[in-house]
Amino acid sequence: MPELPDVTVYVEALQQRIAGQYLERIIIPSPFLLRTALPPIQSAQGKRVTEVRRIGKRIAIGLESELWLVFHLMIAGRLHWFAKGAAVSKRAALARVEFASGLLTLTEAGTKRRASLHLIQGADALRLQDPGGLEILQSSLAEFSDRLRSENHTLKRALTDPKLFSGIGNAYSDEILHAARLSPVTLTRRLEDEGVARLYTAVREQMQLWTQRLRHNAGGDFPQEVTAFRPDMAVHGRFRLPCPVCQTPVQRIRYADNETNYCPRCQTGGRLLADRALSRLLKQDWPKTIEAFDRES
């Protein structure tokens, strides 16, 4: 799922291309994408774009008459930009938004249709699109600490809860916890002040680092390689590959459609966290430490 760095770069690219432009036509071939009936989607046509902003992991395009097109890309949704007169990809688009300057399309990989588009009107309706997570780059350590400890969850769950923190998902939470040298299963209310401070610093540094990297990778073009798996990540998506800090094989915890990646030496004191699938299968044979894992691998 595109997270804060990815969505920020999307917003910046859109701002450069459509701010001040008139939305000439919007076509939505997919009946599953549009989640609102009023105002009617046709009412967006002919309106000038006033701004583009990020709301958590959502992208909101502001139009005249206080209208807002709010895109939530979910896991597999991606935006594509085609300049006026450029060849348009034949990939099936769930939405086509035409401006004088070019064409914006939304596609979604796979067969599950999770991406959404809302057309809403007014500031109050726009606020309802915001899950309420703390904007970490605009928050103080005290605000971060209060929000983190407001509920007793694992660090992984807390960081990825959009009601607690804005824009952090599965991929960057792994990178943040590795940078902070913290276990993903540590409970928030058991984390000491020093650990909270390390986590606060890691969140801010990782969000800024990856936003800068993605801007650089885009090179002024519309971002194309939006993915949760990048070769220069430290642990996310790197199961069994060496940790860049200590060279210990990265481990994972799998659950539902997600997985948590971590370094047992940097983050858990050498202890292997129980993977729900493998630990249930192996039971007593499940290794408890990285040393035991190394001997059995």
**Can you give the residue ranges of every domain in the chain?**
4-127, 136-296
Local confidence band at 297 (pLDDT 50, 70, 90 cut-offs): very low
Local confidence band at 123 (pLDDT 50, 70, 90 cut-offs): very high
- Cα atoms in the 13 Å half-sphere on the side-chain side of 237: 10
pLDDT digits (tens, 9 = 90+) for 48-95: 999 999 999 999 999 999 999 999 999 899 999 999 888 887 678 999
pLDDT at 211: 97
Q: Where are the alpha helices (DSSP H) in the chain?
A: 4-18, 123-127, 141-148, 155-160, 170-180, 193-218, 264-267, 276-282, 290-296
Query: How many Å apart are CA 290 and CA 2, to the nearest integer?
Result: 32
| pLDDT of residue 295 exceeding 60 | no
Q: Mean pLDDT for the chain?
A: 91
**Secondary element (H or E) of residue 81:** strand 77-83
pLDDT at 288: 53
Asked if the domains 4-127 and 136-296 are classified in one and the same CATH topology, the answer is no
* Lookup: tokens for 262: 């971590």
pLDDT at 283: 46
In this structure, CATH architecture of domain 136-296:
Orthogonal Bundle (1.10)
Which residues lie closer than 8 Å to 63 by C-beta, 6 or more apart? Answer: 23, 44, 47, 48, 49, 50, 69
| pLDDT of residue 277 exceeding 60 | no
Give the lowest-confidence range in 67-81, 165-179, 280-294.
Answer: 280-294
* Lookup: tokens for 104: 């914006």
CATH number for region 4-127: 3.20.190.10
Query: How many Å apart are CA 81 and CA 272, to the nearest integer?
Result: 44
| pLDDT of residue 276 exceeding 80 | no
Q: What average pLDDT score do residues 196-211 get?
A: 98
Give the torsion sign (CA, 161, 165, 171, 176): negative
| pLDDT of residue 204 exceeding 70 | yes
